[in-house]
């Protein structure tokens, strides 16, 4: 099942520390989408847009690249599970995703 979930680096708003947030984008249709913050952030120049990953060149000041990419993968998996739950319940997946996806929230609380 292709759920149209992608991690994206939001370069429009740069935080005070110089990082841009990494968000999870869910495209239900071309007109209906949700882009929610994953809780992760890196300077935009260390985001590999083509691979949708944090670059290995990221300075250690911002964290360990492998650990950050693993956390990002976990957030994408959590988003996939939330959307799957919405589809099983026959709820609107976009609205359900917006309500239930929070980086600090566990799947058990749904």
- 23 DSSP β-pair partners: 8, 37
Show Cβ contacts of residue 7 under 8 Å, excluding neighbours closer than 6 positions.
22, 23, 24, 25, 38, 52, 53, 72, 75, 76
β-strand pairing of 47-48 with 20-27:
unpaired
Contact between residue 47 and residue 21 where contact means Cβ atoms under 8 Å apart: no
The better pLDDT of the pair 13, 64 is held by: 64
Q: How far is CA 95 from the centre of its chain?
A: 16
List pLDDT tens digits, range 81-106.
999 999 999 999 999 999 999 999 88
Q: How far apart are CA 92 and CA 65, in angstroms?
A: 35
Least confident of 13-17, 20-24, 73-77: 13-17
Per-residue pLDDT, 1: 45
Q: Output the pTM of the full model.
A: 0.90
């Amino acid at each position: 099942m292709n759920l149209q979930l992608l991690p994206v680096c939001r370069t429009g708003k740069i935080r005070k520390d110089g990082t841009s947030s990494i968000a999870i984008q869910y495209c239900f249709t071309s007109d209906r989408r949700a882009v929610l913050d994953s809780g992760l952030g890196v300077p935009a120049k260390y985001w590999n847009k083509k691979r949708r990953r944090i670059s290995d060149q990221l300075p250690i000041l911002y964290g360990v690249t492998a650990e950050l990419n693993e956390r990002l993968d976990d957030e994408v998996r959590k988003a996939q599970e939330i959307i799957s739950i919405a589809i099983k319940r026959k709820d609107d997946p976009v609205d359900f995703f917006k309500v239930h996806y929070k980086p600090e929230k566990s799947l058990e609380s749904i």
